Amino acid sequence: MSHRFIPNTDADRAAMLQTIGVASVKELFADVPQDALYPEIRLPRAIAELDLMRELHALSARNASVDARACFLGAGAYHHFIPATIPHLVFRTEFYTAYTPYQAEISQGTLQTIFEYQSLICALTGMDVANASHYDGATAAAEATILALNQLPGRNKILVCPTLHPEYRATIRTYLAGHDVQIIGDEDPRATFEQMVDQHLDDQTACVIVANPDFLGRVRDLKPYADRVHEKGALFVVSAYPISLGLYQAPGKYGADIVIGEGQSLGNPLAFGGPYLGIFATREKFLRRMAGRLVGQATDTKGRRGFTLTLQAREQHIRREKATSNICTNQALCALAACVYLSTLGKSGLRQVAELCYHKAHYAARKINHLVGYRVDLKQEFFNEFVVECPRPVAEINAALRERGIIGGYDLSHDYPHLGNAMLVAVTEMNTKEQIDALVDVLNQVKTQKEKGKTQRGKGKT
């Protein structure tokens, strides 16, 4: 057994300094700039707990909470209703404080919840097996490319849809930075998925990864592309928005080999960006190359059902030199929330949520498209997000919306500058008709104010 050395006497500290080859603590920190070495910490005076709570609540009230404001911001993280069953179960101490379930005999509850989560994700995506989850959708996307490269040695090309989430694309590039791999598709934001496949799909392609709906909210029929990818012997990877699968066909039904996605929308709060839940599901034939935890069901010597971590030789904590990934953990608490969410809603409940998102989004899109100066492509199929072409910079419009208690959409100029003044608007079941109408009214006012300003400046010149 190893022991951690904690120098708690002068003799201990002297021995430690001698071991590392310095004469004093001051010499140990010689490379730290003097102005940063001993910064003055000015703590506020001590106050009573009651006063402290008032101050903390006042600080938290400065946040633009989605509970207090109408929110039309999505772009990968969404404001959905979280049933009361989720916090009631997830925050039970036996789940909330659980550690990695290495010892199956004392971890049956945690293992069963993970097994049920895996089963639900398989049913949702139309795949054969699912793991216990990755950190988020971006890492799941990167792990999908690693699986493809390991499954198809000798191939060194990855095709990435230009409208895959920008953070997913960045994470893929980070993961593959040390590999001799050519990543094609996201260099030119003007390029389309169709152009990428037509120009670059060949016998060197390991996988093609595409989002459906994509980052701009558009939904495609991907079956023809799945067939083309398979004809070249490559893997077809689909990034799916899990709520949309309550309404649209599961990716496994139209040819996906791997389905990944962000599971935050399944009962997990926005939580300032995390922790989130990376969904990863695939075909059974790729099971041994799938990263992450996998819980299996078996029977003991008395025929009783039990659960255990299975196929552990895939992971580095057993055979590190043969590992295909550095993922060795999972978001079990977030996966549990997703499991409870899907179990609570069931098939019909999930479909109802998806239908509400779909119809409310299309109502909002039609209303906005009727405004002078704004345009939405209503001919393009979309689920709950759509692009709005705006008459002014999105930053200005969002500032006007914030003043009226509305959180506006995502400014696409950061990632797709060729779209001009374009806003990605997300609508979920949490948005009421009154909120949508208020959004439309403010957008119209912003346009009207601009026109008034032009008229007044014109009169001044005259």
Model confidence over 233-272: pLDDT tens digits?
Answer: 999 999 999 999 999 999 999 999 999 999 999 999 999 8
CB–CB of 212/249 below 8 Å? no
Inside any domain, residue 386: yes
Percent of the chain with pLDDT over 90: 70
Rounded CA-CA distance 280/141 in Å is 8
* Whether residue 452 has pLDDT greater than 60: no
User: Do 383 and 294 fall into the same domain?
Assistant: no
User: Do 119 and 260 fall into the same domain?
Assistant: yes
Q: Which of 288, 318, 342 is the last residue of a domain?
A: 342
- The number of folded domains in the chain is 2
User: Do 216 and 133 fall into the same domain?
Assistant: yes
From residue 66, give the alpha-carbon distance in Å to each of 226, 351, 387, 400, 407.
38, 23, 21, 17, 8
Q: Look up tokens 């041994």; give the residue.
A: 288
Q: Look up tokens 């030119």; give the residue.
A: 188
User: Do 104 and 127 fall into the same domain?
Assistant: yes
Amino acid at position 298, single letter: A
Query: Which of the four pLDDT bands, split at 50, 70 and 90, describes residue 98?
Result: confident
Rounded CA-CA distance 247/270 in Å is 23
Query: Which of the four pLDDT bands, split at 50, 70 and 90, describes residue 1?
Result: very low
pLDDT tens digit sequence for 345-389: 999 999 999 999 999 999 999 999 999 999 999 999 999 999 999
Residue 52, helix vs strand vs coil? helix
Inside any domain, residue 35: no
Q: Look up tokens 């709520």; give the residue.
A: 243
Section 433-437 average pLDDT? 98
Q: What is the CA radius of gyration of the chain?
A: 26
User: Do 255 and 136 fall into the same domain?
Assistant: yes
Q: Which of 285, 311, 342 is the last residue of a domain?
A: 342
User: Do 300 and 167 fall into the same domain?
Assistant: yes
Which domain does 279 fall in, by range?
A: 85-342
User: Do 224 and 93 fall into the same domain?
Assistant: yes
pLDDT at 461: 54
Range with the poorest average pLDDT among 193-207, 406-420, 440-454? 440-454
CB–CB of 237/256 below 8 Å? yes
pLDDT tens digit sequence for 283-340: 999 998 898 888 999 998 899 999 998 887 555 556 666 677 767 666 789 999 999 9
Burial of residue 441 (number of CB atoms within 10 Å: 0-12, 13-18, 19+): middle
Pairing of strands 305-309, 258-262: unpaired
Inside any domain, residue 124: yes
* Whether residue 450 has pLDDT greater than 90: no
Rounded CA-CA distance 418/318 in Å is 49
Burial of residue 96 (number of CB atoms within 10 Å: 0-12, 13-18, 19+): exposed
Please, how many CA atoms are within 13 Å of residue 241, restricted to the half-sphere of its CB? 32
Q: ω before 275 within 30° of 0 (cis)?
A: yes
Query: Which of the four pLDDT bands, split at 50, 70 and 90, describes residue 453?
Result: low
Rounded CA-CA distance 174/302 in Å is 48
Rounded CA-CA distance 91/328 in Å is 24
CATH of the domain at 186: 3.40.640.10
- Please give the distance of CA 457 from its chain centroid, rounded to a whole number: 46
pLDDT tens digit sequence for 210-242: 999 999 999 999 999 999 999 999 999 999 999
Q: Identify which of 293, 262, 264, 284 has the alpha carbon closest to the alpha carbon of residue 110.
A: 293
Inside any domain, residue 57: no
User: Do 297 and 386 fall into the same domain?
Assistant: no
Query: Which of the four pLDDT bands, split at 50, 70 and 90, describes residue 462?
Result: very low
Query: Which of the four pLDDT bands, split at 50, 70 and 90, describes residue 163?
Result: very high
E-strand ranges in 186-316 read 205-211, 235-239, 258-262, 278-282, 295-299, 305-309
Inside any domain, residue 45: no
Rounded CA-CA distance 398/393 in Å is 9
Query: Which of the four pLDDT bands, split at 50, 70 and 90, describes residue 8?
Result: low
Inside any domain, residue 34: no
Inside any domain, residue 371: yes
Rounded CA-CA distance 141/93 in Å is 32
CB 241: neighbour CB atoms within 10 A? 26
Q: ω before 166 within 30° of 0 (cis)?
A: no
User: Do 167 and 129 fall into the same domain?
Assistant: yes
Rounded CA-CA distance 176/143 in Å is 10
What mean pLDDT value characterizes the chain? 91
* Whether residue 424 has pLDDT greater than 60: yes
Section 9-14 average pLDDT? 82
Query: Which of the four pLDDT bands, split at 50, 70 and 90, describes residue 401?
Result: very high
Rounded CA-CA distance 413/353 in Å is 30
User: Do 180 and 318 fall into the same domain?
Assistant: yes
Rounded CA-CA distance 179/51 in Å is 55
pLDDT at 318: 61
pLDDT at 2: 46
pLDDT tens digit sequence for 21-79: 998 888 888 888 888 887 777 888 899 999 999 999 999 888 888 988 999 999 999 99
Inside any domain, residue 8: no
pLDDT at 349: 98
Q: What DSSP string runs through 72-85?
A: ---TT-------TH
pLDDT at 83: 97
Percent of the chain with pLDDT over 70: 92
Section 206-212 average pLDDT? 98
Rounded CA-CA distance 286/235 in Å is 11
User: Do 284 and 333 fall into the same domain?
Assistant: yes
Residue 135, helix vs strand vs coil? coil
User: Do 385 and 270 fall into the same domain?
Assistant: no
Rounded CA-CA distance 323/67 in Å is 44
CATH of the domain at 449: 3.90.1150.10
Q: Which of 317, 342, 367 is the last residue of a domain?
A: 342
* Whether residue 189 has pLDDT greater than 70: yes
